[in-house]
Amino acid sequence: MIENKTREKEDEGMASNSRRDFLKKSSVITAIALTPVAAVKASDLKLDERLSEAIEQMSLSIEINGQQYNLKVEPRLTLLDLLRERLKLTGTKKGCDQGQCGACTVHVDGVRTNSCLSLAVMNDGAKVTTIEGLANGHELHPMQEAFIKHDGFQCGYCTPGQIMSAVACIHEGHANSETEIREFMSGNICRCGAYANIVNAIREVKAGGKV
């Protein structure tokens, strides 16, 4: 009990009264409402934490690259971290984690999206395509072929985002001139500086009409 009280006191001392703090307190209170012995035990096992953990999971139904996933996730999980850390789909890159570089670009229901700015749970019922889902089996997507041919990358880290953006750029009708491509591809940073080659790749694919 003594330990419990100390912890409660610390909680009260916090300026912010977050949802997590509330959950912690309420679960501790629930534990106290049981028997004192059980409460001590609950505290030792950090049962309150486990309780809040369980409550904080939300269900998510999402289709990624044609595969259906039914998941339980924390609401603060981003779509990007769901892909990279939970589902091991690491083709989608984390470059800034704040929507400024485009490395994490994926298609959500056909629209290019910075997956780092989208919480996973916001995509319930959505169809997501990542770089891993772009090729048709062993046969590369024309944009992937064009990136290789025109050397549209060096280190390759921004490349999946560039390619996903490039495909969408054509679909959106924003690839009608070199200037237009530059403007509509400016959300994808390439620090190696392959920009001119990327433009050439997109122009060729657009001209080929395969996208």
Partner 1 sequence: MSKKHLENADMELAMSRVDGRVKVTGAAKYTAEVQLPELTYGVLVESTVGQGVITSIDTKKAEWAPGVIAVISHLNTPGVPEYKLQNQDVIQKQLRVFNDANVYFNGQPIAVVVADTLERAQYGASLVKVTYSKEKSFSNLKDNIARAIVPKKAKADPKGMTSDFIRGRAEAYKDAEFQVNEEYIQPSEAHHPMELHSIIATWDAEDKLTLVDKTQGSQQTAASIAKSFQLPAENVKVLSTYVGGAFGSALRVWPHEIVAILAAKKVQKPVKLVLHRNQMSYMVGYRPYTLQKVAIGASKDGKILGLSHESYGKTSMYEEFTENVLIMSRMMYDIPNVDTKYRIVPLNVSTPAPMRGPGEATGSFALECAIDELSYKLKMDPIELRLVNYAAQDPDKKIPWSSNFLKECYQLGADKIGWNKRKAEPDSIQDGEWKVGYGVATGTFGAFRNAASVKATFKPDGTLLLQSAIADIGPGTATSMTAIAAKNLGIQPENIAFQLGNSTFPKAPMQGGSNTVATVGSAVVATCDNLKVELAKRAAKQKPEWNNAIPKNISIVGTQLVNSDEPSSKVEIASLFKEDNLSELVIKGDAAPGEESKKYSFYSFSVHFIEAHVHELTGVVRIKNAVSVIDCGTVVSPKTARSQSMGGIVGGIGMALMEDVVIDDRTGRTVTASFGDYHVPVQADIPQMEMMFVNEKDPYLNPMGSKGLGEIVIIGVAPAVANAVYNATGKRVRHLPITPDKLI
CB nearer to partner 1: give 113 or 159.
159
Q: Are 163 and 143 in contact (CB under 8 A)?
A: yes
Long-range contacts (CB closer than 8 Å, 24 or more residues apart) made by 123-128: 123/60, 123/62, 123/79, 124/59, 124/60, 124/61, 124/62, 125/61, 125/62, 126/62, 126/63, 127/63, 128/62, 128/63, 128/64, 128/65, 128/79, 128/83
CA distance 185 to 182: 5
> Of 126 and 142, which CB lies nearer to partner 1 in the complex structure?
142
Q: Find the part of the chain contacting partner 1 (CB under 8 A) among 27-35, 107-115, 121-129, 184-192.
A: 184-192
CA 173 to chain centre: 26
Q: Which residue has the tokens 């009260």?
A: 12
Q: Is 30 in the site for partner 1 (CB under 8 A)?
A: no
> Distance from CA of residue 40 to its chain's centroid?
39
Segment interacting with partner 1, rule: CB under 8 A, options 26-34, 107-115, 121-129, 188-196? 188-196
- At closest approach, how far in Å is the CB of 211 from partner 1? 14
CA–CA distance, 91 with 130 (Å, rounded to integer): 7
Give min distance, CB of 132 to partner 1, in A.
Answer: 5
Min CB(185)–partner 1 separation in Å: 4
Verify binding: residue 137, partner 1, rule CB under 8 A. Answer: no
* 7 belongs to the binding site for partner 1 (CB under 8 A): yes
Q: Which residues contact 184 (CB under 8 A, 6 or more apart)?
A: 169, 172, 174, 175
Binding pattern to partner 1, positions 83-112, x when CB under 8 A?
A: -xx--xxxxxxxxxxx-xx-x---------
Instruction: Report the residue from 4, 31, 42, 52 that binds partner 1 according to the rule CB under 8 A.
Output: 52
Copy the structure tokens of residue 78: 């981003």
**Contact residues: partner 1, CB under 8 A:** 7, 10, 14, 20, 46, 49-50, 52-53, 74, 76-77, 81, 84-85, 88-98, 100-101, 103, 130-132, 134-135, 140, 144, 147-151, 153-160, 163, 178, 181-183, 185-199
